Each structure stands twice: as structure tokens, then as C-alpha cells.
Chain A
Amino acid sequence: MIWKKEIECMQPAELKKLQSDYLKKLIPYIYNNCPVYKKKIDDAGVKPDGIRSIDDIKRLPFTTKIDMRDNYPYGLFSNKGKDVVEIHISSGTTGNPTLVGYTRYDVSLWSEVMARSICCAGGEPGDTIQIAYGYGLFTGGLGFHYGALELGMRIIPTSAGQTARQLKIMQDFKPKVIACTPSYVLYMAEEAKAMGIDPAKGNWKIGIFGAEPWSESMRKEIEQVWNMSATDVYGLSEIIGPGVAQECTHKDGLHIYSDVFYPEIIDPKTDQEVEAGEAGELVITTLTKQAVPLIRYRTRDIVSIAFDKCKCGRTSPRISKIKGRTDDMIIVRGINVFPSQIEHVLLGIKGTQPHYQIIVDRKAHQLDEVEVLVEVEEKIFSDEVKKLNELSQKIKKEIEAALSIGVKVTLVEPKTIQRSEGKAKRIIDKRIM
């Protein structure tokens, strides 16, 4: 079923009018309530009442992650008063974390787009959903929770982890929908087999997977082993959390809710819009949010976009799976990792040089693994193995504290980390096949 048919199947001309109406209200609202944005808009030489149609969006300045960090905590809020009923904070290890806030309206918007997403994947009111995304500051768990509540589902909020219990709940309550990271659902298949449960006879029929990149071959594997339909969900906490875009049962791109999250695809070097179908950086304007509306937010995710009507009947544009990043961020088990965080740790340990390489791998049916190779310099080298082991333990502990994920640290000989054009290749992501 289609949750908001009048919006999701709207004619393009009508949709454009709706987007224009929203933008015309949004810009004066932000301008009058957020001094940081007022300055940005003034600096761009734009008069708020000069914004008359969605096409005028190109005249507005971009917003970046750096703007969010620099104006931590409340600088980008257009409403930071009592109306803000919920906040989420992302882990920030170099500099400030990213803070997002929601008014009651924003939470209802989040509920709405997540209800659309679950429907888009094939879920319906009355179905049972097992939500195995983490609940807490991470937006995954609560975003799905609000959407399922809005849709009228029976919710089992298992949160992440405790695999044996997840599987027992699956068998005892037969939820039709499972929501978690794609690597976790494969991991659960292995655990199920070890416990004597045949995953192909599992009860989950629809999977909604996101928060980390995954490939078509991984989709095939999940669908085969669990005998279910596996769909991709896209979102980021700066925009709302999960529920920005979602695959329908035809799995031909992710429907982006462009009535509220206006997408542009730009060339990250020239900042100019690319042709439809070409890959570029996804830029999103939140057209109706109240607490932290963002203008032309640079997601740094590389996607392409298609505007033709989908077989499912929805007219909303479809973005491709994420093809890459404009920065060097990688996502491991739902956590954003920047190489600079590791560099920061190594610079802080006496005697170590920031010569390192990160290898991310996902062995069959396993969770993502991160190995950090660190070059050994003469200053830290010792003839005693125990001292070298102590050093690698220290590096491991500090990196783990900075990234909040487990890593393996391997000491390697100097100059063995591949350098191209004088610059070391920092990340080898073996998950992208």
C-alpha cells in the first residue's frame, strides 16, 4: 500500500507548487529566527522575500557539516525554546558532536516519513515489526519506532544485540518486518544456524536495512538465506534520521520524500547541478522542519537521481544506492568513521607517526571488521616484544575509545603502506565489491 497517496503519487507540477509554497514560508522563518542563517543569507546577497519558487533555491547558500560543528550546540536552531521536545547527539571525536533537535511537529513529520517508508517496503497496519536498530542517541531505533506507531503496527523494540533473544522473539511472535543493519541480519543467520534454526524457514518476510553501505550481492545473499524481501532505507540525523528515502518492492532506487526533503544533485567541485541520471553529491533542504531546518545541506553522499514514474505508482524521485562519498568517511556498523580520528590518536601517542591504513572487511556472514595498520618507526621500536605489544594495545585502546568500535591494530614495517602521488591511501574498503 501507499501511505500518503495524495503526496507520493502527486503530479510533478502540483508537487513543484507545494515545494515552492513551503520554501517561500521557510526562508523568512529561518531568516527571522536564526542569526547564523540570517548572516549566511545576507552574505549571499539574497532577500528572503525574493524567494518565490523552488527554482530560486539555487541562489541560497549551502550548509555543511562544518557549519553544524562550528555552531554547536544551538547555533543553527531556528527554534530552540520549550517547543524542542527531543534531541539526538551524534558521537563527535574530533571537535564538536552534531546536535539535532525536534519539535512536536518535527517528531510527527518523522513519524509520517517513516510510516511511508515502512509501507514502501511492504509493511502494513496490523503487521508486527521487530526493531533491532539501536535505541538511544542513534536515530535508527526511535525513528522506526515512531513510524511503526504512526502506521499502526505492533512494535517489538528489541534494539540491537542479544542475538539469541532476537531469534527467540522472531520464532515466538512471528514479526513480518525486521529492521536492522544489513550486516547484522546476515550475522543473525549464522547464529540461527548454530542454534539449529533454519533461517530459510524464518518468520521475517520483509527487511528494512540501512545505516551502512551494502551491495546488490549482499541483498541476494540476505534474500536467499532468510527467504525474505530485503529493502534499503536512507537517512541521516542532520535531515531527520532514517526516513529520507526508501526502496519500494520493485527495488529500483530509493523513493525520496521530496515534498519535505528537497533533493538536488550537484557536482561537488563546481557546486553546479548535474544532469538527471548523472552521479553527484546529494544536497537536501528540509522544507517544513521547525527546530533545525537546513538549507541545501551537503550530505557528502554521491548518488544519482531518476524522475520517471515508478512501477509502484509513486511519482516521487528515486535516488540510487550510495555510490561513494565526497569525503573519506566510512560507515562501520552504523558508526561514522573518519580517518582523521585515527590520525588524531596516533599524533597523541608519543613517538608514533600518523602513518596508518584502515582496512574494513566483512567476511561472509560476519559483522564489519576494522584493522588499522600502523607503521613502526625507530623511535618506538624496541627489541622487546612485550613493549611492542604494549604499544599496539595502547593504540588499540585509544582508537577504540575515539571511534566507539572494536579494531585490530597491526604493526607494519615503515613505508609499506601504499602511497600514491605522495599521499598514502588511507582506507581500503573490501566491503565494496
Chain B
Amino acid sequence: MKLTQISVFLENRKGRLYDVCSLLGKTGINIRALTIAETESFGVLRIVVDKSDLAIQTLRKNNFVANLTDVVAIEVGDKPGGLAEILRVFADNDVNVEYMYGFVEKFSDNALLVFRFEDTDRAAKILADKGVKVVTRREIEGL
């Protein structure tokens, strides 16, 4: 089951991250997971939110460059070796992870991690075959 991630282009200057977060806050959108990839002159903010359609509309209306990417959120046992267990599944099946990051909060005893794969459909199928628990869109919205 795939989730929608929103990526936002951010220039490396003061207050830009604040601008995005306050805009989303005012619109009543809750950020579930977040990471920033930064370079010398710009950054890419990646977020998973409860209302992604509303979020992207609002961002674009306010002149942010933003797009949608399919990601998969996976429940990982919150114990030593929990992440390694999942990563072994990917390694064994030749699935390439572009990047990953953690959720802000968790809603069970497990940790929640967002994965961006090179080939999302293939990765999702392998996860389903192996019976790995992935988080559904409904769960994210209701978090």
C-alpha cells in the first residue's frame, strides 16, 4: 500500500521552513513525518501529512514548488535489529532504497519508517508477499 509524500523545494534562506510549516498549520494540516535533504544552496523538504491533496493545493497556491511522490510506510519492530530485518528483505530481493526517514510519532509499539524506493510498485509487491506490515492511507489520515 503506497502513501503520498509531498516534496517542497526550499531555498537556503532564513524562515523558509517556517513559512511552509505555518502555512500548513493555518490550513489545519498535520505533519506526520518529515525530513530535509540539504545542499549548499537549497534543500528539499519531504513530508507525509494527514491531508495530502489539500496540502499540495495550498502549497502551490502560495507559489511553492511542490510535487507528489509515492512512498511506503513500514512498521518496524522497535528493538535491536528491527530495521536490519526489513532491510535484509530488500537486499535479498534487489530492491534499491533511495532514502528513508522516521515518523514523528508512533501509533503502536513499532517504529514507523517512510521508504522511497527506486521502483515503488515492485517494492510494495515484495513487502506484501513477505507479509510485512505497511501503513495504509486511512491509518495516516486518522493518526
B42 at the interface (CB under 8 A from A): yes
Chain A residues within 8 Å of B44, by CB:
382-385, 388
Q: Say whether A413 contacts B64, CB under 8 Å.
A: yes
Chain B residues within 8 Å of A410, by CB:
41-42
Q: 1/0 per position for B25-58, CB-CB distance to A under 8 A? A: 0000000000001010110101000000000000
How far in angstroms is the closest Cβ of chain B from A263?
Answer: 45
A287 at the interface (CB under 8 A from B): no
A73 at the interface (CB under 8 A from B): no
Chain A residues within 8 Å of B65, by CB:
376-378, 381, 413-414
B contact residues, total (Cβ < 8 Å)? 22
Interface residues of A in 368-396 (CB under 8 A from B): 376-378, 381-385, 388-389
Chain B residues within 8 Å of A411, by CB:
9, 41-42
A415 at the interface (CB under 8 A from B): yes
A171 at the interface (CB under 8 A from B): no
Q: Say whether A383 contacts B7, CB under 8 Å.
A: yes
Chain A residues within 8 Å of B69, by CB:
383
Chain A residues within 8 Å of B41, by CB:
410-411
A contact residues, total (Cβ < 8 Å)? 17
Chain A residues within 8 Å of B10, by CB:
413
A89 at the interface (CB under 8 A from B): no
Partner of A385, one of B11, B37, B67: B37
Would you call the interface of chain B mostly helix, strand, loop, or mixed?
A: strand
Considering the chains assembled together, what is the distance between the CA atoms of A414 and B44 in angstroms? 14
How far in angstroms is the closest Cβ of chain A from B101?
Answer: 12
Q: Say whether B116 contacts A383, CB under 8 Å.
A: yes
Considering the chains assembled together, what is the distance between the CA atoms of A374 and B16 in angstroms? 18
Closest to B46 in A: A383
A94 at the interface (CB under 8 A from B): no
B108 at the interface (CB under 8 A from A): no
Chain B residues within 8 Å of A418, by CB:
none
Closest to A389 in B: B39
Closest to B16 in A: A413
How far in angstroms is the closest Cβ of chain A from B57?
Answer: 13
Closest to A409 in B: B41
Considering the chains assembled together, what is the distance between the CA atoms of A384 and B100 in angstroms? 12
Chain B residues within 8 Å of A412, by CB:
11, 42
Considering the chains assembled together, what is the distance between the CA atoms of A415 and B65 in angstroms? 10
How far in angstroms is the closest Cβ of chain B from A303?
Answer: 38
8 contacts between A and B (CB under 8 A): A377-B65, A381-B7, A388-B42, A389-B39, A410-B41, A411-B9, A412-B11, A413-B10
Q: Which B positions have Cβ atoms within 8 angstroms of A?
A: 5, 7, 9-11, 16, 37, 39, 41-42, 44, 46, 60, 63-67, 69, 98-99, 116
Given A381-B65, A382-B44, A388-B42, 20 further pairs, Cβ under 8 A: A376-B9, A376-B42, A376-B65, A381-B67, A382-B7, A383-B44, A383-B46, A383-B67, A383-B69, A384-B44, A384-B98, A385-B44, A388-B39, A389-B39, A410-B42, A411-B9, A413-B9, A413-B16, A414-B63, A416-B11
